[in-house]
Amino acid sequence: MYEQLLQPLDLGPTRVPNRIFNPPHGTTLGHHGVVSDDLIAYHQARARGGVGLIIMESMTVHPSYGFEEAFLYAGSDRIIAGLNRLAECCRAEGTPVFGQLFHAGRGVRLSHDGSRPLSYSASDMPDERYRVVPVPMPNEMVWELVASYVDAAGRLVDADLDGVEILASMGYLIAQFLNPQTNRREDEFGGSRENRVRFLREIINRCRARMGTHKTLGVRITLDEKTAKGLPADEVIEVCKLLEGDGNIDYFSVISGSSSSPEGWIHVFPPMSVAQGFVAADAARLRQAVTRPVLVAGRINQPQLAAQIVDSGQADMVGMARALIADPDFVNKMAQGQAEDIRACVGCNQACVGHRLAHYPVSCIQNPHSGREHRLGKMQPAATPKKVLVIGGGPAGMKAAVVAAQRGHEVELHERDARLGGQVNLAEALPGRAEFGGVTTNLQRELRQAGVRLHLNSIPDEATLRDFAPDHVVIATGAVTRLPEAEVDGVDMVDAWSVIRGDARPGKNVVIADWSCDWNGLGVAEKLARDGHYVRLLSGGSVAGESIQAIVRDHWIGVLHGLGVEMIPYARFYGAIDGSALFQHMTGGESIVCENVDTVVSCYAPRSLRDYGWAGKTGSFEIACIGDAVAPRTVEEAVLEGLRLAWEI
Ligand SMILES: Cc1cc2nc3c(=O)[nH]c(=O)nc-3n(C[C@H](O)[C@H](O)[C@H](O)COP(=O)(O)O)c2cc1C
Ligand code: SF4
């Protein structure tokens, strides 16, 4: 079924063993601009997992966009030794490694000292996302930048990487030169297409001269920036044809979106609301126009979809950034006929993109080992197999049970409901969020494979403990909903979880008292608006969804706007009386009165459930508490604590 996907391919002088590549993604695993042991272990894990090619994260090339806290810096020879070590380690597993070179131009969100640094671009056209006004680069600076790319490419060759990719996409510096909307220059780099493409062409042609013909040179481009005034696809195709005509390019890598606007940004890191494989049609279009191999990435997280894209000729290779963060062994599992064992990425963006944009190392809510390969090391079999009783079948309990069983312990898991999953079952029931249920599906499969004995509809009591005689008891009983302490009279008040479950039926006019500013408020607002209610969403932060990953939130806010949901920030709920819901502005102090209200839906702080007093009386075992049972947080912390605890037993 995956025959063609597993065929080798020549990208210029580099033969890649199969058609799946790991696209460039900033990991925040480098240290002070150079490769670290953490980063090597991270890529080594993916190389061991069978991926055909690793294209390393963006490396910056010039001090005008340095930021060594966030990016590897290829503008200095310090980069060479670490890169060399990384490439050697991955090649030892059969996986070639390319490096990507990058300059964001006006897209600057970082700082060296808290003050806003100058940013540079083709012209002074402002950026909509970071609200930056760049300095137009003087002509000699443009030539200096060209030289910096060439020097950086030389360093990657000196480090014996197999290839270099030039990032010319996503609205970053090179794309700012290509686009007449952002390039208003009057020198040889502005005006006609020939002039606007000169910056990229000089970089490519001079890099080739520096690199020789024994290393691969590719370019990453965007056909559809998904943004107003983005560069049209026809124009990009003409640019690619020009590059191909110069004879120095070995492949094109197609992506979607742009860093320059919120809607463009959503498509660079597409969350689960964006269709799987949505860039494949763009790649197919380019593939008709050029002869060099075309690579594509963007929400490809299933082997069947990957095979379909390659088999149908839409692209020559498919990229999987988040799919391999969630499961580094994706390719080996697929190749060995165990595709159903792949831990599919659910497109939540939380621990990968979310960590990266907050300057923390990338990881995965489902796979906390990701990004922690070096620090955690390999899972070790238990020195002495023990009996482990896990109480609670949400993500924390499931993960603890899986890892404990994988390490050789005898594990029983008791869940009081008829179904595993805990709060994931609520999150996946929201409109457009069904994919999130993959978290439970994946863990459930792992439980089965690890040999965990499962007891549904079961609350263990003293007799259970006596019979099983555990050495360790893990309390992972999660949290329950609660209502805020407020006076409510003459208006119905229900909690969001009851609404999601269908246990509560709100009236026509709904006010959501959104303390949590997370998926609860956004999700229940969307559900009720779609069901025909008039919805006002009053949130206790600067924006609804403030606590969740920004891209997921931004997309959701757009959906709610389209559904006519009224949103008010900084609103603290304090009561309801005779058809009015009462809030206080959290900074101004004034009252916000919502009239004509049938039902207040409360998204308030859940309460931990950890009544295990009986356990202390019953036997001699160690007891530990994890996840929301300690304090309500998210799936990420639940799974991480499950792993950490079971790692130590
Ligand atoms: C955490 C993270 C960082 C990224 N950083 C880069 C980058 O440095 N350069 C780049 O070209 N793309 C970057 N991307 C975009 C990815 O290469 C890829 O195109 C995108 O994630 C969509 O593919 P996926 O659905 O397989 O994750 C990044 C993606 C993620 C998730
Ligand atoms: S955190 Fe979510 S989006 Fe990121 S890799 Fe894991 S499952 Fe995928």
pLDDT digits (tens, 9 = 90+) for 67-124: 999 999 999 999 999 999 999 999 999 999 999 999 999 999 899 899 999 999 999 9
Mean pLDDT computed over 9-33: 98
17 within 8 A of 291, measured Cβ to Cβ? no
Is 185 contained in some domain? yes
State residue 614's pLDDT score.
63
The mean pLDDT value for 394-402 works out to: 98
To test ligand 2's pocket by mutation, which of 28, 42, 46, 350 has the most ligand atoms within 8 angstroms of CB?
350
Question: How large a percentage of the chain has pLDDT more than 70?
Answer: 99
The DSSP symbol for 339 reads G
Distance 356 CA to ligand 1 centre (A): 10
Residues 212 and 321 in one domain: yes
Which pLDDT does position 463 carry in this prediction?
A: 87
Q: Closest ligand 2 atom to the C-alpha of 349?
A: 3
- Does 584 fall in a domain? yes
Which pTM value belongs to this model?
0.97
Give the ligand at the shortest distance from the Cα of 297: 1
Residues 237, 425: Cα–Cα separation, whole Å: 44
Q: Taking residues 374-390, report their average pLDDT.
A: 96
**Local confidence band at 1 (pLDDT 50, 70, 90 cut-offs):** confident
Taking residues 438-455, what's their average pLDDT?
98
Instruction: Note whether 68 and 173 are same-domain residues.
Output: yes
Mean pLDDT across the stretch 279-289?
98
Q: Which domain holds residue 448?
A: 387-480+608-648
Q: Is 613 helix (H, G, I), strand (E, B) or coil?
A: helix
Q: Which atom of ligand 2 is nearest to the CA of 439?
A: 7
pLDDT exceeds cutoff 80 at 358: yes
- With bands split at pLDDT 50, 70 and 90, how would you rate the model's confidence at 14? very high
Instruction: Specify the residue with its C-alpha closest to ligand 2, atom 1.
Output: 364
Q: In the predicted model, is pLDDT for residue 456 greater than 90?
A: yes
Same domain (yes/no): 515, 600: yes
Q: Is the pLDDT of residue 616 over 70?
A: no
**Would residue 264 count as lying in a domain?**
yes
The reported pLDDT for the residue numbered 35 is 98
Give the pLDDT band (50/70/90) at residue 538.
Answer: very high
Q: Closest Cα partner for 170 from 294, 56, 257, 280? A: 257
* CA of 23 relative to ligand 1 center, distance in Å: 6
The residue from 320, 346, 376 where one domain ends is 376
Residues 151 and 191 in one domain: yes
What's the 8 CA to ligand 2 centre distance in angstroms?
28
577 shares a domain with 527: yes
Ligand 1, atom 2, lies closest to the CA of 25
Q: Give the mutation target among 67, 269, 362, 365 for probing the ligand 1 site: most ligand atoms within 8 A of CB.
A: 269
Q: What is the pLDDT of residues 168-216, one digit of tens each?
A: 999 999 999 999 999 999 999 999 999 999 999 999 999 999 999 999 9
Q: Which ligand is nearest to the CA of 549?
A: 2
Tell me the CATH number at 452.
Answer: 3.40.50.720
Q: 17 falls in which pLDDT band (50, 70, 90)? A: very high
Q: What is the C-alpha to C-alpha distance for residues 393 and 440, in angstroms, rounded to an integer?
A: 10
Taking residues 351-359, what's their average pLDDT?
97
**Residues 595 and 549 grouped into a single domain:** yes
How confident is the model over 526-546, as a mean pLDDT? 98
End-to-end CA distance of the chain: 41
Which of 330, 348, 436 to mutate for ligand 2's pocket (most ligand atoms within 8 Å of CB)? 348
Q: If you write DSSP's letter for every residue of 214-275 in order, what string do you get?
A: SSEEEEEEEEE--STTPPPHHHHHHHHHHHHHHT---EEEEEE--TTSHHHHHHHS--TTSP
Same-domain pairing of 393 and 358:
no
Q: Is 480 in a helix, a strand, or coil?
A: strand
Residue 187 sits in the same domain as residue 216:
yes
Q: What is the pLDDT of residue 290?
A: 98
As for how many domains the chain has, the answer is 3
**pLDDT confidence bin for 620, thresholds 50/70/90:** confident
Residue 146: pLDDT over 80? yes
**Residue 110 is assigned to a structural domain of this protein:** no
Using the mean position of ligand 2's atoms as its centre, give its distance from the Cα of residue 270 in Å.
Answer: 11
Indicate whether residue 326 lines ligand 2 (CB < 6 A). Answer: yes
Cβ contacts of 56 within 8 Å, gap of 6 or more: 24, 43, 72, 83, 86, 97, 98, 99, 100, 161
> 133 alpha carbon to ligand 1 midpoint, in Å?
25
Euclidean distance between CA atoms 478 and 626, whole angstroms: 8
Q: 112 lies in a domain?
A: no
Atom number, ligand 1, closest to the C-alpha of residue 57: 8
Query: Closest Cα partner for 119 from 130, 108, 131?
Result: 108
pLDDT digits (tens, 9 = 90+) for 540-560: 999 999 999 999 999 999 999
Mean residue pLDDT across the chain: 97
Q: What is the pLDDT of residue 462?
A: 84
Domain-ending residue, one of 356, 376, 396 = 376
Task: Report the pLDDT value the prediction gives residue 618, as an integer from 0 to 100.
Answer: 63
Considering the domain architecture, whether residues 337 and 397 belong to the same structural domain is answered as no
352 lines ligand 2 (CB under 6 A): yes
What pLDDT score does 466 carry? Answer: 87
Residue 498 CA to ligand 2 centre (angstroms): 27
pLDDT band at 611 (very low <50, low <70, confident <90, very high): confident
Quote the percentage of the chain above a pLDDT of 90: 96
Q: How large is the C-alpha radius of gyration of the chain?
A: 26
Ligand 1 mean position, distance from CA 269 (Å): 6
Is 381 inside any structural domain?
no
Residue 610 in this model has a pLDDT that exceeds 90: no
CA of 298 to the centre of ligand 2 (A): 13
For residue 525, give every residue at least 6 positions away whose Cβ sits within 8 Å of its Cβ, in sequence order, or none: 512, 535, 537, 544, 560, 565
CB 499 less than 6 A from any atom of ligand 2: no
**Shared domain check, 582 and 458:** no
Residue 257 Cα to ligand 1 middle (Å): 11
pLDDT at 613: 61
**Alpha-carbon gap, residue 280 to 38, rounded angstroms:** 32
- Whether ligand 2 lies within 6 angstroms of the CB of 552 is answered as no
> Do both 469 and 499 map to the same domain?
no
3-state SS of 194-222 is HHHCHHHHHHHHHHHHHHCCCCEEEEEEE
Could you identify the residue written with the tokens 């498509």? 267
What ligand is nearest to the CA atom of residue 362? 1
For residue 465, is it within any domain? yes
Nearest one of 174, 288, 280, 282 to 223, comparing CA atoms:
282
**So what's the pLDDT on residue 619?**
67
Task: Indicate which CATH number applies to the domain containing 341.
Answer: 3.20.20.70
325 lines ligand 2 (CB under 6 A): yes
Considering the domain architecture, whether residues 476 and 491 belong to the same structural domain is answered as no
As for ligand 1, residues whose beta carbon falls within 6 Å of it are: 23-26, 57-58, 100, 167, 220, 255, 268-269, 297-300, 319-323, 352-353, 356, 362
pLDDT value at 465 more than 90: no
CA distance 427 to 638: 15
* CATH code of the domain in which 545 resides: 3.50.50.60
Sign of the dihedral through C-alpha 351, 355, 357, 362: negative
Q: Which atom of ligand 1 is nearest to the CA of 58?
A: 8
Domain limit, last residue, from 376, 403, 434: 376
Tens-digit pLDDT profile for residues 472-519: 999 999 999 999 999 999 999 999 999 999 999 999 999 999 999 999
Residue 462 lies in a domain: yes
